[in-house]
Chain A
Amino acid sequence: MNRRKGIDLGRWVIVLLLLVLAAATIFPFIWMASTSVKSMGEVLSSPQRLLPASYDFSTYTKIWSEVPFGRYFLNSLIFSCSVVVIALFLNSLAGYAFARLQFKGRNLLFILILCTMMIPFQVTMTPLFLIIYKLGMIDTYQGLIIPRAADAFGIFMMRQFFLTLPKDLEESGRIDGASEFRIYFQIMLPLCKPAFVTLGVFIFMGNWNDLLYPLLLTNSEQFRPIQAAIALFAGKYGTDYSFVLTGLLLASVPTLAAYLFAQRFFVSGIAMTGIK
């Protein structure tokens, strides 16, 4: 009897702590949102107020004209989405080959690819910059997209996924005399949807949120993706918090949306990679 009371109290304490943590986690978001609709004067005069005395949505229209925000946004969109489309295609091709096709040196090549995951970006970033520079692809979309078109993690995930599919599907395709490519295209690819959603969101978010890579490979406003752009213009707008925060929030919308959309898939996707 005593024990039951003790557990209840303990559980309540835990829930309370979790609530405090949740409040602390959400607080910056609320502050960002409310400050972005404060007037400049209020930002400076009453920082202790969380909610604005009067709502001023002007920054949400100003930001598109004061800086080439639309351009930055578009650059990130083109960059991230292109990488998603191309990488999903190339990674699934390779993943399928490693999972189901036989060829000499298959295991060795796969291990080689896995090993590249262990190389920190900083080791390759300088030569990568030099290579892109020599190819004349600095400050271009293709310069950003192509190096990201295939990655070890994506290939690994797709291979794992294909290994879980039953073999009879391809076998029946082969018996019917279909070429490997047709089997891949017409049988395997349509089955990839759940894996594509998880991996696709992952790739999209990874590239949308990347700072250092786009910072290196672009140097003009015309092609600069959004994280690098914000990092650079935030300094200029110093104390104009409502302006900068509007930018930060707008820049977060795609990833937040992608997350909320793929929530169900996302957790199981990470779980697949985490516990193996």
Chain B
Amino acid sequence: MKWKALAWNKSAVGYLFILPSLAVMTLFVIVPLLFSLISSLFSFDIMLHNFKFIGFDNYHTVLDDDRFWNSLKNTVYFVVGNVPLQIVLSILVAVAINKKSRLNIVFRTVYFLPVVCSMAIVAMAIAMMFDFNIGIIPALMRQLGLPVVDVFNDPTWAMPAIILISVYKSFGFTMIILLAALQGVPESLYEAAEIDGAGRTATFFRITLPSIAPSIAFVVITSIIGSFQVFDQVYVTTKGGPMFKTETIVQYIYDKAFVTNEMGPGIASAILLFILILIVTMVNLRMGQKSEQNF
């Protein structure tokens, strides 16, 4: 009898311990998620009145909107530009500063500095640095007689600039994760390679990369997921311009939901983004599994 009471008591305690966290997450994450899914099939206003079931009309509105497809195109452009650049850069840097030394610790600290600041601050600072009239980069380029472009107002160069900001801000973070993975590679592997006469490049491609492949896969996936959600750097620099050339999906969602107050399409487009991310993630995982089989 006493044992039973003790067991029940223990169970209750468990529930008690997780109750506050679970309550917060239910109310502010799970309920909104369910609300999004369900309400995307309705039309309603911001006061949550006039709920009218309209089936997939919200989705049709979004999918018929050229502006949505434009934002999708821009987002994919961003992802394709940002992720490989960032991953390659952080792999190279992580491998280069892997050995324990004072200098490498300094490098590590410096490369991580942009990660610590907010994306908004980094983006604004870089946008100002590139300002056509009073930014230092164009000014120096003029001094050197090089052609100068108004980068953030140029339809061709605006998105590459956004990508530059993103790589600058985040490569340190990916680098740290890969550095940790590199710590796990046994010295003996490198020593064996050296004995076999492997040069720096051969060691890199045949030993280092395969050893940290799971971590690379991890940062690739998280990078892609994060990149699809790009918002801050666009909002504080171009706001989607010039001529919607940098408007990303989240920019579109934000505009629909909070600027023009079209809640239905706003939520529908967010769900479409969610589905897109899920698909891309699953494709990535599949590809990762396949290449693991090849090893």
Instruction: Return chain B residues, CB-CB under 8 Å to A142.
Output: none
Interface residues of A in 110-134 (CB under 8 A from B): 113, 116, 119-131, 133-134
Instruction: Return chain B residues, CB-CB under 8 Å to A146.
Output: 24, 28
CB distance from A179 to the nearest CB of B (A): 8
**Bound Cα distance from A267 to B113, whole angstroms:** 13
**Bound Cα distance from A4 to B228, whole angstroms:** 46
Least CB separation from B115: chain A residue: A259
Instruction: Return chain B residues, CB-CB under 8 Å to A122.
Output: 229, 249-250, 253, 270, 273-274
CB distance from A195 to the nearest CB of B (A): 16
**Bound Cα distance from A44 to B114, whole angstroms:** 26
Instruction: Indicate if the CB atoms of A275 and B118 lie closer than 8 Å.
Output: no
Instruction: Indicate if the CB atoms of A25 and B110 lie closer than 8 Å.
Output: yes
Instruction: Return chain A residues, CB-CB under 8 Å to B258.
Output: 126, 129, 216
Main secondary structure of the interface of B (DSSP, over half): helix
Interface size classification for chain B: 35 or more
Task: Tell me if B1 counts as interface (CB < 8 A to partner A).
Answer: no
Instruction: Indicate if the CB atoms of A14 and B25 lie closer than 8 Å.
Output: no
Instruction: Return chain A residues, CB-CB under 8 Å to B294.
Output: none
Instruction: Indicate if the CB atoms of A248 and B124 lie closer than 8 Å.
Output: yes
Task: Tell me if B243 counts as interface (CB < 8 A to partner A).
Answer: no
**Bound Cα distance from A184 to B274, whole angstroms:** 38
Residue from B24, B110, B134, B228 in contact with A47 in the complex, judged by beta carbons closer than 8 Å: B134
Q: Which of B66-74, B136-144, B153-161, B284-292 contacts A (4 or more CB under 8 A)?
A: B136-144
**Bound Cα distance from A120 to B29, whole angstroms:** 10
Interface size classification for chain A: 35 or more
Residue from B27, B168, B183, B236 in contact with A234 in the complex, judged by beta carbons closer than 8 Å: B236
| A126-B270, A252-B121, A274-B215 given; A149·B177 CB < 8 A | no
Q: Which of A54-62, A63-71, A239-247 contacts B (4 or more CB under 8 A)?
A: A239-247
Instruction: Return chain B residues, CB-CB under 8 Å to A157.
Output: none
**Bound Cα distance from A263 to B172, whole angstroms:** 14
Instruction: Return chain A residues, CB-CB under 8 Å to B140.
Output: 48
Instruction: Indicate if the CB atoms of A275 and B10 lie closer than 8 Å.
Output: no
Instruction: Return chain A residues, CB-CB under 8 Å to B13.
Output: 97, 101, 103, 179-181
Contact with A along B182-206 (1 / 0, CB 8 A): 0110000000000000001000000
CB distance from B145 to the nearest CB of A (A): 13
Task: Tell me if B54 counts as interface (CB < 8 A to partner A).
Answer: no
Task: Tell me if A193 counts as interface (CB < 8 A to partner B).
Answer: no
Instruction: Indicate if the CB atoms of B120 and A227 lie closer than 8 Å.
Output: yes
Instruction: Indicate if the CB atoms of A227 and B24 lie closer than 8 Å.
Output: no
| A102-B11, A241-B128 given; A14·B96 CB < 8 A | yes
Task: Tell me if A37 counts as interface (CB < 8 A to partner B).
Answer: no
Task: Tell me if A255 counts as interface (CB < 8 A to partner B).
Answer: yes
Instruction: Return chain A residues, CB-CB under 8 Å to B142.
Output: 48
| A7-B200, A48-B142, A122-B270 given; A90·B180 CB < 8 A | no
Least CB separation from B144: chain A residue: A48
**Bound Cα distance from A48 to B134, whole angstroms:** 8
Instruction: Indicate if the CB atoms of A134 and B48 lie closer than 8 Å.
Output: yes
Instruction: Indicate if the CB atoms of B113 and A47 lie closer than 8 Å.
Output: no
Instruction: Return chain B residues, CB-CB under 8 Å to A163.
Output: none
Instruction: Indicate if the CB atoms of B33 and A124 lie closer than 8 Å.
Output: yes
CB distance from A4 to the nearest CB of B (A): 12
Residue from B25, B116, B133, B180 in contact with A275 in the complex, judged by beta carbons closer than 8 Å: B180
- Nearest 4 pairs of A and B residues by beta carbon: A103-B14, A271-B180, A209-B118, A150-B21
17 more CB-based (< 8 A) A-B contacts, given A91-B21, A131-B35, A244-B124: A10-B200, A28-B122, A31-B125, A48-B142, A101-B10, A101-B13, A103-B11, A103-B12, A103-B13, A116-B29, A120-B277, A127-B36, A209-B118, A211-B232, A231-B120, A274-B215, A274-B218
